Amino acid sequence: MNVGVPREIKNHEYRVGLTPASVQALSARGHRVLVESRAGAAIGFQDADYLSAGARISSSAEEVFARSELIVKVKEPLAVERGWLHAGHTLFTFLHLAPDLAQTLDLMASGAIGIAYETVTDATGHLPLLTPMSEVAGRLSIQAGAHCLEQAQGGRGLLLGGVPGVEPARVTVIGAGVVGRNAIAMAVGLGADVSVLDRDLDALRRLDERFGNRVRTLFSAAHLLEPCVLEADLVIGAVLVPGAAAPKLVTREMVGRMKKGSVLVDVAIDQGGCFETSRPTTHQDPTFQIDGVVHYCVTNMPGAVARTSTLALNNATLPFVLALADKGARRALLEDPRLRDGLNVANGRLCRREVAQAHALDYVPALEVLEAIPD
């Protein structure tokens, strides 16, 4: 199969879809890999590394799309990239379609197969391709939040862990999933005063067993969420409903009553955000303020540590990339229900119920769509 790896063009996105080691694994199976020049250069993967691994180097992204059947990316295709997609393509990347109608419609119009990393599952129902990036984003959320609490960044002028004789900052984490657990570990490690809210009592029990009285675990009910947000210096939004738009748990009215200089870090922003006041930002311009509250809503947080993130992501994605290349997309999707959970768009139809509901569009089950595609 012809596999293409374009350079990412999202603002300050330096990750790359395949490492040279992943390219070598594909080349060893007889697949042809075309990598856009300097696709991984920013994180130390030079064109020469890809050539040594068996890839060919292209001077343009347009050529990569034109000459490839399977496109492996990291972030969702931007408008210019979507214009190069057609029915002969399989796109394997993060998509986050529920909050993005324009991308959804463009992918449907292209006729391409769109498989989203964030909805591929494993045997336990977890999300193995989202997990490594959630781990990175959870840890980064505390770093970013601590930085935003500095006076020069518009924050309250607080050191997250305090010092002897001065109390630490209060951190509220909404969501005890992968992002939340990693945020909590970082916050506890820095000595912050940490509370976490979730509706999953088993998840709260696991946190209690791990951290004991260093973390307050609370059931996420409105009468508990509001005071935790209002008392916090830093709030981490770590809510995930797989494939669906994130619920708006922190309202505009609540933000207006938060302490001036407090910070909101919305890790759910890829799925629309869980704060009512959130809007997407970039690494180049990461924050804005509403009512004196600093909002950090960068949509590709793991891109800040692009080498770590690329290596972690490839560890998880490579088996699926190999299956798609070895078998072809249709057969790989039909044979593997976990990979099939990642199918969001195919043959002009929406195959992910949550995305269809978010945009009031028709939904067709993945198997029905795949069976209608010729071998």
Q: Please identify every residue annotated as catalytic.
A: 96, 270
Phi-psi region of 173 (alpha: psi -120 to 50; beta: other; left: phi over 0): beta
**Which position has the token pair 């990569």?**
64
As a whole number of angstroms, the distance between CA 319 and CA 126 comes to 16
As a whole number of angstroms, the distance between CA 235 and CA 273 comes to 13
Please provide residue 218's backbone torsions phi and psi, each rounded to the nearest 5 degrees: -130, 140
**Which position has the token pair 């506890």?**
188
User: Rg of the chain over CA atoms, in angstroms?
Assistant: 21
Give me the residues paired with residue 288 across strands: 295
Please provide residue 154's backbone torsions phi and psi, each rounded to the nearest 5 degrees: 95, 0
- Choose among 61, 98, 48, 136: nearest CA to 316: 136
State the chain's maximal CA–CA distance in angstroms.
71
H-assigned helices in the chain: 20-28, 47-52, 61-66, 79-82, 101-110, 131-148, 178-189, 201-211, 222-231, 252-256, 306-327, 329-335, 337-340, 353-359, 366-372
As a whole number of angstroms, the distance between CA 105 and CA 349 comes to 10
Please provide residue 163's backbone torsions phi and psi, each rounded to the nearest 5 degrees: -140, 165
Give me the residues paired with residue 5 across strands: 35
